């Protein structure tokens, strides 16, 4: 991540690279089900943030995971009755840890467990910060049909070829000082050039922790995820963006509409 970010930040991160390098991970259950219908027809995996470098195990008080609980509740409501399995990825370590790419390894392990249990069901990955980086890195897994990356950590050297043929939707706040929005826009452009179908949204007025415009983050993530699973229609501007040719840089920074206030 950017050198301005402390490696000890609780959620300031600063599939297979296509395959991460480094020591092989010990066996550990990477997949934790939150919703598990008897016969799921599709699945969603949620990946929380972490740190740039930290080999410690996540503790019982895992603030990055707690940040995703609102998204999990919204996804449960938005897919209720549709036989969609929803799970989270369990990390072995708090950090990405350079070439070890530990979070990506865990994402791929969770996807392999999912495939062994459910078969080749279409799966959407939803990841925030380091979890967004892991989701993008693991996007080449055969079960993955789409990725929703929230304020993702997108270093310039990260691979994107694994995303060819996938739908990639990227949301980033314009006030993010942890993972630079410009890095996300550059990764989006490279991914489209590599054959991914990409649409990017700017969440005006929001920062990295997604504490501003929380309903908009939850609503957009749920709507886009459900649409990629065939439960809703994609917004018209998303459909247009996903259809743009590989060399186009259009529709990579669309403004995310605000949620109307309830009265």
Roughly how many angstroms between the first and final C-alpha of the chain, as a whole number? 41
Which of 201, 216, 222, 204 minimizes the C-alpha distance to 258?
A: 216
Q: Which pLDDT score is estimated for 261?
A: 60
Q: Are 222 and 216 in contact (CB under 8 A)?
A: no
Q: Which pLDDT score is estimated for 26?
A: 57
CA distance 176 to 161: 26
13 has a pLDDT exceeding 50: no
Confidence of residue 150 (pLDDT cuts 50, 70, 90): very high
Cα dihedral 129, 130, 136, 140 sign: negative
Q: Are 22 and 100 in contact (CB under 8 A)?
A: yes
Helices 130-137 and 102-118, interaxial angle, to 10°?
A: 60
pLDDT digits (tens, 9 = 90+) for 248-259: 999 999 999 997
CATH no., domain 31-255 = 3.40.50.1820
Q: If you average pLDDT over each of 4-8, 21-25, 191-195, which comes out highest?
A: 191-195
What DSSP letter does each residue of the chain carry, written as one string?
Answer: --TTS-TT-SS-----TTS--SSPPPP---EEEEE--SS-SEEEEEE---BSS--SPP-SS-HHHHHTHHHHHHHHHHTTTS-EEEEEEPPSSSB--GGG-HHHHHHHHHHHHHHHHH-S--EEEEEETHHHHHHHHGGGSTTEEEEEEES----TT---GGGTTSEEEEEEETT-SSS-HHHHHHHHHHHHHTT-EEEEEEETT--TT--TTHHHHHHHHHHHHHHHTTSSPPPHHHHHHHTS-TT--TTSSEEPPPPPPP-
- Taking residues 94-112, report their average pLDDT: 98
CA distance 98 to 101: 6
Q: Which pLDDT score is estimated for 8?
A: 36
- Taking residues 175-203, report their average pLDDT: 98
Q: Which pLDDT score is estimated for 91?
A: 97
* Secondary structure (H, E, C), 22-53: CCCCCCCCCEEEEECCCCCCEEEEEECCCECC
Q: Which pLDDT score is estimated for 214?
A: 97
Confidence of residue 59 (pLDDT cuts 50, 70, 90): confident
6 has a pLDDT exceeding 80: no
- Taking residues 151-174, report their average pLDDT: 98
Q: Which pLDDT score is estimated for 259?
A: 79
217 has a pLDDT exceeding 50: yes
Confidence of residue 105 (pLDDT cuts 50, 70, 90): very high
Q: Which pLDDT score is estimated for 60?
A: 83
Higher model confidence: residue 8 or residue 196? 196
Q: Which pLDDT score is estimated for 14?
A: 41
Q: Which pLDDT score is estimated for 29?
A: 93
Q: Which pLDDT score is estimated for 15?
A: 41
Q: Which pLDDT score is estimated for 189?
A: 98
Write down the domain spans for the chain.
Answer: 31-255
Q: Which pLDDT score is estimated for 28?
A: 85
Q: Which pLDDT score is estimated for 262?
A: 55
**Average model confidence (pLDDT) across the chain:** 91
Q: What are 175's two structure tokens? A: 């006030």
pTM: 0.90
């Amino acid at each position: 991540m950017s050198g301005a970010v402390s490696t000890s930040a609780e959620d300031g991160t600063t599939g297979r690279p296509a395959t991460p390098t480094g020591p092989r991970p010990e066996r550990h259950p990477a997949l934790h089900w939150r919703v598990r219908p008897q016969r799921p027809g599709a699945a969603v995996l949620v990946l929380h943030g972490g740190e740039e470098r930290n080999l410690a195990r996540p503790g019982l008080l895992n603030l990055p995971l707690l940040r995703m609980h609102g998204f999990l509740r919204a996804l449960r409501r938005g897919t209720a009755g549709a036989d969609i399995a929803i799970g989270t990825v369990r990390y072995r370590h708090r950090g990405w840890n350079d070439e070890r790419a530990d979070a990506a390894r865990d994402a791929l392990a969770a996807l392999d467990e999912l495939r062994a249990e459910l078969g080749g069901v279409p799966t959407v990955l939803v990841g925030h910060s380091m979890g967004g980086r892991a989701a993008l890195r693991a996007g080449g897994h055969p079960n993955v049909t789409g990725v929703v990356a929230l304020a993702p950590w997108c270093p310039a050297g990260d691979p994107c070829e694994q995303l060819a043929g996938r739908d990639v939707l990227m949301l980033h706040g314009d006030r993010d000082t942890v993972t630079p929005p410009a890095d996300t826009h550059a990764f989006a452009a490279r991914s489209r050039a590599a054959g991914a179908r990409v649409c990017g949204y700017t969440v005006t007025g929001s920062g990295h922790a997604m504490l501003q415009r929380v309903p908009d983050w939850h609503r957009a993530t749920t709507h886009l995820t459900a649409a990629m699973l065939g439960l809703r229609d994609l917004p018209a501007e998303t459909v247009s963006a996903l259809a743009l040719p590989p060399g186009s840089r259009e529709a990579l920074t669309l403004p995310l509409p605000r949620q109307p206030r309830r009265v």
